[in-house]
Amino acid sequence: MKIIEKLVKIQKDGTLEVDVTRSALVASELSEIDAFGSVPRDVEEVKSGFSKSVPKLKIAILVVGTRGDVQPFIALAKRLQEFGHHVRLASHVNFRTFVKSAGVDFYPLGGDPRIMAQYMTKNKGFLMAAPTEISVQRKQVKEIIFSLLPACTEPDLDTGIPFRAQAIIANPPALGHLHIAEALGVPLHIFFTFPWTPTNEFPHPLARTPQSATYRLSYLIVDLIIWWGTRGFINDFRKKLNLPPIAYFSTYHGSISHLPTGYMWSPHLMPKPNDWGSLVDVVGYCFLNLGTKYQPPLELSQWLQQGSKPIYLGFGSMV
């Protein structure tokens, strides 16, 4: 952790300021760690499995975040249901009605959703900037991690119908996804609404770095800080799952770069970086048909019909 301190400052909004000019030696050492976690170029064996016919599966979708994080996964769940899969979406308990009203099975994750929402609204990311927040948020993270096992294996809380995940879909903040998938021996696919896979084209969304040469390094640094902050919980969770602990000096650092990943935005908005490889794709937006019956005011309709189509920027459920 001390070597990271030479390069990084955590800002009040939970983002990182990364400046490798403070220590070129440390930056070089971190680049070597990143090389251990890079995706091998030959992924044909993995890709060959994608073309095989997929049986009807029980799929657990694990989502941590705000309504804006959960909503695209409901659309994804409904699409999977159309293909005949039994889908369970596990998230914060306050989204129960929202999920079930869409016709998707729900299972609650641990943690207090009000505390999580307040924190994520206050901070741009998942990094704890204020010392007073650390103990509170660590408790929330631990409860979420340990709730992943029942979310993937326990019967439905309403109907009692048995459930055991045969595949898992998760967003990166659902820390522990990789370990529950390992314990159950099932495939894991990551989906997210903003970039979490290392690239040389832009820095991690939670990091600010003035040097373009260190954009990729910023992903490793964010992964390492999150990993070091949750390592104890993860190893306790692995013990519960009858898995061996991850050593402190192992090359594991919480990266998702070796996992199949889909990013839920339009490639017209931000194309897939050239260095993301075959395991990562930009799949487009996942929308629910929530506005199909909406009738805009006449004044708004007339304005929209004038000239070229406008570009809308909003803050979603964060406001």
**For residues 14 and 145, what is the distance between their CA atoms, to the nearest angstrom?**
21
Residue 83 lies in a domain: yes
117 found inside a domain: yes
Q: Domain range for residue 152?
A: 2-282
Residue owning tokens 């599966």? 57
Question: Which pLDDT belongs to residue 41?
Answer: 46
pLDDT tens-digit readout, 118-166: 666 665 555 555 556 677 788 889 999 999 999 999 999 999 999 999 9
Token pair recorded at residue 7: 């390069």
26, part of any domain: yes
The per-residue pLDDT for 56 is: 93
**Domain contains 218:** yes
CA proximity to 187, closest of 44, 46, 4, 17: 46
Does residue 315 lie in a domain region?
A: no
| pLDDT digits 0-9 by tens, 214-264 | 899 999 888 988 888 899 999 999 999 999 999 876 767 788 999 999 999
H runs (alpha helix) in the chain? 2-5, 24-36, 44-50, 67-82, 96-101, 113-122, 131-153, 177-184, 215-240, 298-305
Q: How many CA atoms lie within 13 A of 196 on its CB side?
A: 25
By DSSP bridging, strand 58-62 and strand 167-170 are parallel
CATH number at residue 239: 3.40.50.2000
- Give the phi and the psi of residue 105 in degrees, each rounded to 5: -65, 145
User: Is 135 domain-assigned?
Assistant: yes
- Provide the pLDDT for residue 52: 62
Q: Could you tell me the pTM of the whole model?
A: 0.84
Q: Work out how many domains the chain is built from and give that number.
A: 1
Q: Encode 225-292 in three state secondary structure.
A: HHHHHHHHHHHHHHHHCCCCCCCCCCCCCCCCCCCCEEECCCCCCCCCCCCCCCCEEECCCCCCCCCC
Domain-embedded: residue 307: no
Write the pLDDT tens digit of every residue in 36-83. 555 554 555 555 555 567 789 999 999 998 888 999 999 999 999 999
Please name the residues in contact with 308: beta carbons below 8 A apart, sequence gap of 6 or more: none
Instruction: Assess contact for 226 and 175: CB atoms under 8 A.
Output: yes
Residue 28 within a domain = yes
Place of tokens 């390492």: 224
